[in-house]
Amino acid sequence: MELSENVSQKHIALDNNVSTQTVMRAAEGLFVYNKTNFHYLPQNIAFDDFKSGKFATSGMSMILIDSVNHRILDVMKDRGAGQLRAYFNQYSPAARAAVKTITVDLFTPYRAMIKELFPNANIVADRFHVVTQAYRELNKVRISVMKQFGSDSKEYRQLKRFWKLLMKHGTALDYTTRKSRVNFKHAYLTDKEVIDRLLALSDELRDAYAFYQGILYAIETRDEAELKSVLNPTKNDTQYRSLPKAMKKARRTIRKHFDEIINSFIYGFSNGPIEGSNNKIKAIKRTAYGFRSFKNFRLRILISFKNSFYSMNYKQKAADLNNVKSAA
């Protein structure tokens, strides 16, 4: 089924020596397999947004998956709270009551809708988005410190060139191999020695970096006590007490979602599988040069993923039809 491949309808028409209208009619004929079952939801689901452009008022649509087997269940037109509420209200109360966990990013409007429509579901904060909060704010601190030194300074150039090292997990740094480092007069330094020199340039950067690394470690090891100590240091723990304004914002956000983050430690779910799906959706959009209707866009996405609800339904229908023919 060429419609499941990442090629344009025009290309399919040329390849099969038919008109694009014929390809469109063939695609429309597949809608019969594309009816969502509003009487069932898996116990563990996840949803995340992706850029869909003109189809959504917010410019963002949503993809819904089964957190356990990563099967795509549906594509929702808009991520707005009202639109999501209207969509999930189509599911029966029993289907929604069966959901035990919902994995989402840190977008606030989702929370009220989830609590209202999914009475038995625990919210699981996606770990990637938690780390991203601290990542972005550390980068802001780095840029701010760069500007304090001025663009003609060696410190500016050092912070600009080695920004990726600052963002690396501390355990991924090379502590033994020395390399000639540009902007450090070609001194032979390990990754760790470069980091030490960069942090020596600014107390703000040093404190922000310590907080970021603390978050990374706590999330990676799923250590509730460690995360709590990073977010709520005692009077005797000076490591995380002094933070620049930008990093305090990240700390407030992570504190707000603390229980949801702990749920991610307990259940182990994340939106990683959805992030991979989003990349494929971008490729589908580029290949088709955009879509005129969300209905066709949604169908093409569901066809393209072999483990989607649609694809599984189509395969089952095809198998049933073959069995009928064989029995005749």
Interhelix angle 127-149/203-221, nearest 10 degrees: 170
- CA atoms within 13 A of residue 172's CA, in its CB half-sphere: 10
Q: Encoding tokens for residue 157?
A: 């150039």
Contact 214, 226 (CB under 8 A): yes
| Residue-level pLDDT at 56 | 72
Q: Encoding tokens for residue 200?
A: 């020596």
Tokens 């491949």 identify what position? 5
- Nearest-angstrom CA–CA distance, 50 and 79: 9
Q: Encoding tokens for residue 239?
A: 């490591």
Contact 134, 254 (CB under 8 A): yes
- Supply the DSSP symbol for 159: H
| Residue-level pLDDT at 39 | 92
Sign of CA dihedral 263, 266, 267, 273: positive
| Residue-level pLDDT at 289 | 44
Q: Encoding tokens for residue 270?
A: 């994340």
- Supply the DSSP symbol for 121: P
DSSP-derived pairing of the beta strands 72-76 and 101-104: unpaired
Instruction: Answer yes or no: pTM beyond 0.85.
Output: no
DSSP-derived pairing of the beta strands 187-189 and 101-104: unpaired
- Supply the DSSP symbol for 43: S
Q: Encoding tokens for residue 13?
A: 């028409």
SS3 assignment, position 107: coil
C-alpha distances (whole Å) from 199 to each of 84, 140, 250 are 44, 15, 20
Q: Which amino acid is at 301?
A: I
| Residue-level pLDDT at 32 | 53
pLDDT tens by residue, the chain, 328 residues? 444 444 455 555 555 666 666 655 555 555 555 677 899 999 999 998 888 777 777 788 888 999 998 888 888 888 888 889 999 999 999 999 999 999 999 988 889 999 999 999 999 999 999 999 999 999 999 999 999 999 999 999 999 999 999 999 999 999 999 999 999 999 999 999 999 999 999 999 999 999 999 999 999 999 999 999 999 987 776 666 679 998 999 999 999 999 999 999 999 999 887 777 777 777 776 654 455 677 777 777 777 776 555 555 555 554 444 554 455 4
